Amino acid sequence: MTKTVLTIDDSRTMRDMLRMALTDAGFNVLQAEDGVHGMEVLSGSNPDVIVTDINMPRMDGFGVIEAVRKEQRYRNIPVLVLTTESDQAKKLRAKAAGATGWIVKPFEPEKLVAAIRRVSA
């Protein structure tokens, strides 16, 4: 069965790269341009994994993780952070909020796909 991944990133270029890498790997891809839009897309879908950036307008990735973890029906969806940030304090904050993993941009498509497969198995 095809797995669905919701990607949330304010960069059109990054969304395009994610779509290409994930569709090439056989995933169904839903996309949002910031955290608020991501929560709207999530409310009408049932993704197997969420991949979110941290630094975005309207609602950042920390807000996304916290909102996802608050909702009973989304609580078990793995959330991977994909960001340019590598600060240990931010990693710890994301983990405390409920992030499943952390990947630093620029990403290698094979490693991202492997991480998504690992957390959605």
Instruction: Give me the residue spans of the domains in the chain.
Output: 4-120
Is the pLDDT reported for residue 87 higher than 80?
Answer: yes
Strand runs labelled E in 9-100: 28-32, 49-52, 79-83
How far, in Å, CA of 22 to CA of 54, rounded? 20
In sequence order, what are the beta bridge partners of 102?
81
Q: Write the CA distances from 80 to 19, 47, 108, integer angstroms.
A: 15, 13, 14
Kindly state the tokens that stand for 82. 């994909």
Task: Report the pLDDT value the prediction gives residue 13, as an integer from 0 to 100.
Answer: 96
pLDDT, one tens digit per residue, over 29-75 is 999 999 999 999 999 999 999 999 999 999 999 999 999 999 999 99
The CATH number given to 4-120 is 3.40.50.2300
Task: Report the pLDDT value the prediction gives residue 40, as an integer from 0 to 100.
Answer: 97
Task: Report the pLDDT value the prediction gives residue 8, as an integer from 0 to 100.
Answer: 98
pLDDT, one tens digit per residue, over 72-85 is 999 999 999 999 98
Task: Report the pLDDT value the prediction gives residue 86, as an integer from 0 to 100.
Answer: 87
